[in-house]
Structure 1
Amino acid sequence: MIGLIAHTEKTEAAEQVRAMIGALQEKKVGFLLEKSTAEIAGILSDLDERALARQCDLLVVMGGDGTILRVVHKIGEDIKPIFGINIGSLGFLTCAAATEIPRAVESITRKDYILSQRSLLLTELISSGGKIRKMYGLNDVVISRGERSQLVKLRVKIDGAELTDYNADGLIIATPTGSTAYSLSAGGPILMPDSGGFVITPICPHVLTNRSTVVSDRSIITSELIVAEHSVFVTVDGQGNHAMHLGDTLRISQSDRRLPLVMLPEKLFPEVLRQKLKWSGSNV
């Protein structure tokens, strides 16, 4: 059973959802729709993302990277393979364009695709009183100064050993999947999906030698504020905004869960990079 979820606020979403439904019906593929997706297609459904994931073997997500990230957060522990169809802008996580719906459906019916097992972050925000807030992320954890005009000072440790004190606008801890998102914009490196690392990237650091650092995904990364007057906000994959104060600890490790992300055989990650970043070969 296929579950269909779309970014319903996209102007072309209704048209593309109807095209997807038509292609699935033509191939006699069973499907269910998330309730807001069903609404724009003129169909009734009372299923939210999590209920849909529980009943389906594969989720087709029509939107951009942000849509996929929101779906990952909403399905929680009910993780299912995600087949992304891009009706957004950049789309590093999607494997087909809206113009390729027939190819997408053919791939689904024949199971002619590859599952790229993507690492998930487990983020634990531990208050000074011992209360723990757990969050899971596919892309990154961002520690930011919010609306403050001053830099913040963050102490970072790797497996208990002190790395450095960052005096910066904030800090990004990204998975290989998230290395092409905010971390890349802040000057971080691109990691291959199966590279087995995390990348720590400071945002506008005061010390120019503070550069991105790649660490093993088996490591535990901790961060703490070291100036009493400072306060920051923690965001996971752009979802939520949680205050972090002096005495709190942010603990980041690899989750024991992974997201199976669909990739087409003709569009493996190096090809996606080349296309999305408009790279070309040498003429020499």
Structure 2
Amino acid sequence: MSACRIGLIANHGKPGAAELVREIVAECERRALPLTLEAHTAQSIGAPATCSHDDLVRTSDLLLVLGGDGTILQVLHELCDEFRPILGINLGTLGFLTCVGAAAWRDAIEAIASGTYRLSERTLLDIEVVRDGQSLGRYIALNDAVISRGELSRLIKLNVIVDEANLSEYNADGLIVATPTGSTAYSLSAGGPVLTPNSGVFVVTPICPHVLTMRPVLVSDASHIEIIPSPREPDVFLTLDGQNSVRILAGDLIRITKAPQRLPLAMLPGMSFFEVLRQKLKWSGTAI
């Protein structure tokens, strides 16, 4: 079996990123692993920038991403439909999407070299914005789609319909529709539950609802979710994974379904979601 072709992308703004890139390059050379550096990553260590982002994605079997969750999300939104397995090495703080911390990068390289890493297939959101009966565009998101107010500090009214049945009109700071992967991101901070990656549901989480009995709601990921701002509502914003923002006008319709594609996230062998959860949220099981 031929060696896995690795594409390396680093957030060169993170402390220690350049040095880690050099160490990984040296280790891959020692192991004779095919490694290609993304142009900006190459420049960060003074190497020739020979590979464009598109070429890197097209010619790699796996993308090794150095950074945090934000870096992985940024890479995802640049992939278009060329979804490659992503293995993340965390240079940030929390990092639910990353496989290992920077100190354990050799474990990641060993898993790649031996082919023992496993893939966790993650559900994606498919989001469509419709205006006057015409589609303005379709987008994907790994974590969440967030509908929120603009510059003014005020409540917004959003009518939510699930499978053609009216769920509620939310009067809140905003609304989050999150995947299981995104349940540990903004939704968790807004009081939503933690979902396992294979739970097969989305969570609809209001942000600071005016009616305190409005709680997060789980819906099947086979559901069709429609969100309609109140006709009297000034402009609001749709934000996808905290990366891209779309201005939503009164009368627009936001449709959210499960995307046909899935993102394969690479994990070390033997690592479970619950182990990651305990580590990241510091659940010790003992009294504080």
Q: What TM-score, normalized by structure 1, do the two folds share?
A: 0.97
Deviations 1:126-166 (A, max 9, x none): 11251331111110000010212220000000011100000
Deviations 1:205-227 (A, max 9, x none): 00001110110000011000114
1:237 to 230, 237, 241: 241
1:200 corresponds in structure 2 to 204
1:209 to 201, 205, 213: 213
SS at match of 1:105: helix
2:145 corresponds in structure 1 to 141
1:228 aligns with 2:232: yes
Deviations 1:145-199 (A, max 9, x none): 0212220000000011100000000000000000000000111000000000100
2:54 corresponds in structure 1 to 50
CA distance in 1, matches of 2:258, 2:208: 26
Map 1:127-166 to 2 at 5 A.
127-166=131-170
The one-letter code matched in structure 2 to 1:135 is: Y
Q: Which stretch of the first structure deviates more once superposed, 221-230 or 164-173?
A: 221-230
Q: Is contact 1:19-1:101 (8 Å) kept?
A: no
Q: Is contact 1:14-1:40 (8 Å) kept?
A: yes
1:65 aligns with 2:69: yes
1:36 to 25, 34, 40: 40
1:2 aligns with 2:6: yes
Unaligned runs of 5+ in 2: none
Moved over 6 A (4+): none
CA distance in 2, matches of 1:229, 1:217: 28
Q: Is contact 1:145-1:152 (8 Å) kept?
A: yes
Deviations 1:29-76 (A, max 9, x none): 011111000101221124333321100000000000000000000011
Unaligned runs of 5+ in 1: none
The one-letter code matched in structure 2 to 1:277 is: L
CA distance in 1, matches of 2:131, 2:258: 20
CA distance in 1, matches of 2:92, 2:240: 21
CA distance in 2, matches of 1:255, 1:9: 31
CA distance in 2, matches of 1:150, 1:13: 40
Q: Is contact 1:50-1:78 (8 Å) kept?
A: no
1:81 aligns with 2:85: yes
CA distance in 1, matches of 2:239, 2:268: 31
Give the C-alpha shift of residue 281 in structure 1. Answer: 2.8
Number of aligned pairs?
Answer: 283
Q: Is contact 1:7-1:67 (8 Å) kept?
A: yes
CA distance in 2, matches of 1:33, 1:229: 47
Q: What TM-score, normalized by structure 2, do the two folds share?
A: 0.95
The one-letter code matched in structure 2 to 1:43 is: A
Q: Is contact 2:111-2:269 (8 Å) kept?
A: no
CA distance in 2, matches of 1:229, 1:251: 18
2:124 corresponds in structure 1 to 120
1:246 aligns with 2:250: yes
1:266 corresponds in structure 2 to 270
* Structure 1 residues 129 and 46: alpha-carbon distance in aligned structure 2, compared to 1, 3 A threshold: farther
CA distance in 2, matches of 1:77, 1:33: 21
Q: Is contact 2:128-2:135 (8 Å) kept?
A: no
The one-letter code matched in structure 2 to 1:96 is: V
Question: Taking every aligned residue pair, what percent have the same amino acid on both sides?
Answer: 52
SS at match of 1:194: coil
Q: Is contact 2:160-2:227 (8 Å) kept?
A: yes
